[in-house]
Each structure stands twice: as C-alpha cells, then as structure tokens.
Amino acid sequence: MIRTAIIGYGNLGRSVEKVIADQPDMELVGVFSRRDSLDTQVRVLPAADVEKHKDEVDVLFVCLGSATDVPAQAPELAKHFTTVDTYDNHGEIPNYRTVMDKSAQEGENIAMISTGWDPGIFSLNRVLGGAVLPGADQMTFWGPGLSQGHSDAVRRVTGVAKGVQYTKPNPEAIEAVKRGEGADLKANECHLRHCFVVAEETGDAAADEKLKEQIREAIVTMPDYFAPYETIVEFISEADFERDHQGMPHGGQVITRGQAGTSGHVIEFGLKLERNPDFTAAVQVAYGRAAWRMRQAGETGARTVFEVAPYLLSAEPLDDLVAKKL
C-alpha cells in the first residue's frame, strides 16, 4: 500500500480524500490543515507539524491554493516529501519547476508538478498531437465551466467574501478552428472569463461601492490569470451566490489539425466533467502513484506529466494492460 497524506482541505483536498478511498493500492494516513477540526473521519494533523510526519508518508498531495500557497509552501514540502501538486499558473510553471526540482533533489524526492487536466492531461494531449503532427495547428478550448485556480485567485482579492470564475469559450473562435482558420487565435481571443463576486460589506454604501471598484480593478489587472482576457466581474448577493453557484461543472477540448505525409488529420481530446475538483483529484492521485513508483526506481527531482510513462499511472500490472488494453 502507498501511504498518502493531504495538505490543504478545500474542494480539491476533499476530492482527493474521496478518490484515494477508491484506489486498491493506497491508504490515507491523514490530512494536514491549518484548521483544528475538519468534517472528516480521517486523522487531522496541524499543517505546521507536517515535517514531523515525513517518515509515515510516501506521497503528499499538495491541495493548497495555486495562486499563492503552492508557490510559497510547496518548495519546502518537496524537501521532505514526494509531492504531487496541481499548480496551474501556466506562465510561472517553468520557474516553479526549477525551484521544485532543486528542493526535490535536495530531499531525494520526486516533485510531480502541475498535474490535473490543464495543466495535466490536456498538456499531455498537446504534446502528443504536436509530436505526431509536427507543425499542426493546435487549440485548447476550456469550458463552459468553473475554473478552480481562477476562482481561488478571485477569492484572495482583498474585500472578496465569496467568488467564482467561469471560463467560457468564444463560439466564433470554435467555428473558426473547425473551419481550419483558427491557427492565429490566442487563448485570450478564444475565451472570456466571467467572475461572480460577493463583496464584503462595510455598512457604508459609498465605501461599499469604492471597495467593489477596487476588487474589479484588482481582478481584471491580475497578471497571467485575468489581465490578458476579456474579464467580466459581476457583483451579486450572498443569497444569489448560494443558490446559483454551488455546482462545479467543467470541460473542454484540445483540437490538433495537421498534415502527415500528404493528407490531413484531426486529433480531438475532450472532457465533460460533472465536478471539476473530483476529476482534477482523480488525475492528481493517478500521478501520485506514478510519482511513488518513479521515486522507488531511484529517480529524484521535479517531474511533469510529459515525463511519466502512462502505465505508471495505473494500478493494474503492465502485463495486464498489454493483454487487455493494447
């Protein structure tokens, strides 16, 4: 059995707990949290004590917020644990990888970074499509759906009580790609970002309005996450938020159109997810299995989904996969 633990118990951490329960080869040692009590039957331990438990844990699932907590805390964790995260700030991933590689090598661990579906298995399909059809046009569409990473970023803005962000594909861009005319479209031309925010209330109407303007400005100018996109920030009441924004559907597709030999081909990879954090957790847990196997094989350092042989993700033996799935 692979002995696992979770640090961070938001949506992702709770989903990882459920996913681990369905694995034949994993047990959950405990959840590390800054909070004293959590709504779980699993052992809850103080996040501040995480290092003390390093000898009890084979793989630590890092389920902290991607916007600030993961880059701040994961490099230290990787010195003591084989870690798996879902760090999703695409523009910062190369730097993050360098930092995590140093930590993981120092600790003789594997740091499996930026798993999930995007980054994650969407990235894998971008590399696969581009390798098979070099020079192909490639486009990723997200949504319609709620983005965990971007919602997390919204919620960290000062004055935001509650917030979600929905990514929506631009229908005109999808049609252009299907016609083979989408090669030059940028991600920010293919999507818009729609935020629903419950602002904190000061009791003073003029101050409330000023706070909302500050929140809007902080969101739409946030580098990488929102600045390059058309971003709508809509303020709603807490009651409306609770009624309309509790689901977490998501999905999307990676489309690769290219030539091989003298003919044209289309590769499509699509996801329809009922609950985004559940699926992100499912991918993260599978890569946790791979991380532990790679560590057991003597590897150390940061690894991405590009470096993982697919059979390492599966609980089934390679011989069975060859017999049943090849």
Q: Which residues bind its own copies (CB under 8 A)?
A: 15, 18-19, 22-24, 90, 93-94, 97, 114, 119, 121, 123-128, 130-135, 259-275, 277-279, 281-283, 286, 289, 304-311, 313-316, 318-319, 321-323, 325-326
Residue 88, annotated ligand binder? yes
Which lies closer to its own copies via its Cβ, residue 30 or residue 277? 277
Output the CA–CA distances (angstroms, integers) from residue 36 to 7, 40, 48, in the order listed.
13, 12, 11
The residue written with tokens 């052992």 in the block is: 43
**Least CB distance from residue 120 to its own copies, whole Å?**
9
**Least CB distance from residue 34 to its own copies, whole Å?**
23
Which lies closer to its own copies via its Cβ, residue 166 or residue 235? 166
Residue 167, annotated ligand binder? yes
Q: What is the DSSP string of 34-93?
A: SSS--S-SS-EEEGGGGGGGGGG-SEEEE-S-TTTHHHHHHHHHTTTSEEE-----GGGH
Residue 276, annotated ligand binder? yes
C-alpha span between 323 and 326 (Å, rounded): 6
- Per residue, what are the HEC states of 250-305? EEEEEEEEEEECCEEEEEEEEEEECCHHHHHHHHHHHHHHHHHHHHHCCCCEEECH
**Least CB distance from residue 262 to its own copies, whole Å?**
6
Residue 116, annotated ligand binder? yes
Q: Measure CA 7 to chain center.
A: 15
Residue 292, annotated ligand binder? no
C-alpha span between 313 and 326 (Å, rounded): 15
Residue 85, annotated ligand binder? no
DSSP character for 215?
H
Which lies closer to its own copies via its Cβ, residue 221 or residue 306? 306
Cis peptide bond upstream of 119, omega within 30: yes
Residue 314, annotated ligand binder? no
Which lies closer to its own copies via its Cβ, residue 231 or residue 253? 253
Which lies closer to its own copies via its Cβ, residue 18 or residue 35? 18
Which lies closer to its own copies via its Cβ, residue 151 or residue 256? 256
**Least CB distance from residue 196 to its own copies, whole Å?**
21
Q: Measure CA 286 to chain center.
A: 14
Pick out the residues of the known binding site for substrate: 142, 167, 193, 250, 276
Pick out the residues of the known binding site: 9-12, 33-35, 63-66, 86-88, 115-119, 142, 167, 193, 250, 276
